């Protein structure tokens, strides 16, 4: 089976546990205003590769993958669900740790069959929750967050470890009430293993210029480290408050 691949990285250190072989899938339905990989948006771009080619690339560097494995990111890997599943199943047969970095937007709770097969060979899901408020999520990405939040619940219900990522953008995702509500939602994910509050940066600007695209957040300043810490504290406060409430109910 062949898929469309944007690129690979042989020494990923921020894409899951350990040192990872990272595969960037081509194609994404979302149009996040802060996206720093607009070159991954087109579905029919990139190079064609089959699963054996990618596993051979991994094998060529596997001695360096200390405590790591393979991470599939993008773009949105779940747009190529059959190819992704075949890759993860073959990786698992070889004892390779598999991590999926996804926004979950393609999930449909009424038709979960393909996802049920995929998670059997998925060791970790890094889930990007862009915004907890649906209306704000639509403004930020062009899509509802309904499928994404449903996917978080699906992973929790099926015992899949989840590593949540949330980018904090000044004036867009930094409102205290939204961060607090995000924390309350995360308290319901029974399998959450980590939370990354990522500060917005402007490193994607040159890509937009190279592609002849206007950068949507041209006037937005990067988030400071102090703001990022404050945002994480707010999320954690919401999470702890929700857990306390649930404990008192018992």
Over residues 47-65, the pLDDT tens digits come to 999 999 999 999 999 998 8
Omega cis (within 30) before 116: no
Global pTM value: 0.95
DSSP letter (8 states) at residue 55: H
Query: How many structural domains is the chain composed of?
Result: 1
pLDDT at 141: 97
Q: Which domain holds residue 86?
A: 2-249
> ∠ CA(149), CA(150), CA(152), 5° rounding?
65
| CATH number (domain holding residue 72) | 3.20.20.70
Please identify which residue in the block is written with the tokens 């390779």. Answer: 96
pLDDT at 9: 95
pLDDT at 84: 98
Residues of the chain with pLDDT under 70: none
- Give CA–CA dist 75/38, Å, rounded: 8
Alpha carbons within 13 angstroms on the beta-carbon side of residue 128 total 22
């Amino acid at each position: 089976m062949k898929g469309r691949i944007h690129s690979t990285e042989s020494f990923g250190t921020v894409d899951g546990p350990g040192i990872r072989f990272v595969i960037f899938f081509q194609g994404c339905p979302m149009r996040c205003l802060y996206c720093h990989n607009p070159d991954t948006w087109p579905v029919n771009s990139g190079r064609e590769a089959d699963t054996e080619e990618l596993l051979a690339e991994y094998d060529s560097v596997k001695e360096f993958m200390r405590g790591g494995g393979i991470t599939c990111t993008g773009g949105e890997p779940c747009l190529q669900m059959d190819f992704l599943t075949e890759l993860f199943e073959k990786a698992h047969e070889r004892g390779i740790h598999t991590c999926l970095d996804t926004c979950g937007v393609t999930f449909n709770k009424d038709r979960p069959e393909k996802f049920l097969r995929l998670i059997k060979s998925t060791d970790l899901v890094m889930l990007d929750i862009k915004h907890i408020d649906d209306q704000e999520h639509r403004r930020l990405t062009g899509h509802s967050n309904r499928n994404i939040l449903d996917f978080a619940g699906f992973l929790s219900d099926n015992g899949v470890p989840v590593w949540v990522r949330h980018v904090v953008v000044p004036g867009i995702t930094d409102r205290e009430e939204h961060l607090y509500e995000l924390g309350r939602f995360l308290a319901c994910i029974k399998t959450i293993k980590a939370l990354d509050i990522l500060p917005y940066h402007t490193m994607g600007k040159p890509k937009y210029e190279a592609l002849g695209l206007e950068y949507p957040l041209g006037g937005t300043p990067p988030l400071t480290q102090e703001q990022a810490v404050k945002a994480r504290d707010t999320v954690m406060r919401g999470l702890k408050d929700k857990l306390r409430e649930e404990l008192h109910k018992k």
